[in-house]
Amino acid sequence: MDIVIGLLIIAIGAFCQSSCYVPINKIKDWSWESYWIIQGVFAWLLFPLLGAFLAVPEGHCLCELLTSVNPFNIWMTVLFGVLWGVGGLTFGLSMRYLGVALGQSIALGTCAGLGTIMGPVLLNMFFPELNALESLTFAVIMGVVVTLVGIAIIGIAGSMKAASLSEEEKKAAVKDFNFPKGLAIALLAGFMSGCFNVGLEFGKDIHFGELTDPMYRTLPATLLVTLGGFVTNAIYCFYQNSKNKTWNDYKKGNVWANNLLFCALAGLLWYSQFFGLSLGKGFLTESPTLMTLAFCILMALNVTFSNVWGIILKEWKGCSQKTIAVLIVGIIVLIVSTFIPELLK
């Protein structure tokens, strides 16, 4: 029963993340770089900080924790957060050129596979005594493989969509639709976004041990990863503000209340995925396989729900029944991938 509860919590977090681009559509009269960094303040700084406080037991403080653990682990966690930040930037661009459904499918699918594999591999390189590679069992590898098969099927549906629609129909569904450019960006986004889970692996011991509830133990590491990502995004967004002369966006007082509200909502929905991941893993402790695959499961569910939103937002409007059928098969495979590890134990 605990496993079902854990997977359900992760699914709720995935649904929230897949919905985070909906509030962004309500933002008015700001350029991409302006609203992206403002929502980032909430998604990568404020809410992760509040989450990290939950991992601090009474009588202790967060600063005490960060000064008591191995500095190497802290800096590696932040470093992979910086690298993940590159994935976050290109992730946003993949939405621009492919739409919510297809962009998230390719980027998050790549992220799911690489994020799950790279963590133990790199951890084993730096700390071979931990035997981190032991976590990559047959069930874990098969879970990743099935996830990637589902992503590939959805990618085929995307290429069928690109081939079947006229330029006018593509622009009607996604304004800047460009499949070749979007595909390259989405693959890069997925590769770099996989660094998030690597950062979590390096920071998995950054907590107060038995004093910290198992449900909250990954939240301090999540804060460090998102802090690194915020730095990357801030540098790029402020560069774009200067390049595009969009600093005046921040002076438009008449839209601040509206934009701040929807940026905060988008940030909260985005952070919910990793808050849910932490809570969900607290219920999966009896299954080491699912603990290892939790990140991959989260990404697979993100893809599933993003395609539901893609259908709601009519991004697949005008496609043939065959294309929609391929899309649905891909979604079903992703859902099945969530249960594969338990079946193969």
- What residue spans of the chain are helical by DSSP H? 2-18, 21-24, 32-40, 47-53, 62-68, 71-126, 138-164, 167-173, 179-193, 195-202, 219-244, 253-281, 288-312, 321-344
Q: Are 139 and 289 in contact (CB under 8 A)?
A: yes
- Predicted confidence at residue 89, as pLDDT, reads 79
Q: Rounded to an integer, what distance in angstroms lies between the CA atom of residue 118 and that of residue 162?
A: 32
Q: Rounded to an integer, what distance in angstroms lies between the CA atom of residue 137 and that of residue 345?
A: 9
pTM assigned to the model: 0.80
Is the pLDDT confidence value at 225 over 70?
A: yes
- The radius of gyration of the chain from alpha carbons, rounded to an integer in Å, stands at 20
Residues sharing a CB contact under 8 Å with residue 32, sequence separation 6 or more, in sequence order: 92, 96, 240
Residue 221: pLDDT band with limits 50, 70, 90: very high
Q: Rounded to an integer, what distance in angstroms lies between the CA atom of residue 223 and that of residue 46?
A: 9
Q: Rounded to an integer, what distance in angstroms lies between the CA atom of residue 184 and that of residue 186?
A: 6
Between helix 71-126 and helix 179-193 the angle, nearest 10°, is: 100
Three-state secondary structure string covering 141-170: HHHHHHHHHHHHHHHHHHHHHHHHCCHHHH
Cβ count within 10 A of residue 260: 16
- Predicted confidence at residue 9, as pLDDT, reads 93
Between helix 2-18 and helix 288-312 the angle, nearest 10°, is: 40
| Chain segment 37-96, per-residue pLDDT in tens | 999 999 999 999 999 999 999 889 999 998 888 899 899 999 999 999 988 777 767 766
Q: Rounded to an integer, what distance in angstroms lies between the CA atom of residue 63 and that of residue 56?
A: 10
Q: Rounded to an integer, what distance in angstroms lies between the CA atom of residue 221 and that of residue 72?
A: 13
Instruction: For 159-180, give one letter per residue: b (16+ CB within 10 A) or e.
Output: ebbbeebeeeebeebbeebebe
Residue 165: pLDDT band with limits 50, 70, 90: low
Taking residues 306-321, what's their average pLDDT? 75
* CB-based burial label for 296 (10 Å; 0-12, 13-18, 19+): buried
| Chain segment 90-119, per-residue pLDDT in tens | 776 776 677 655 666 677 777 777 777 777
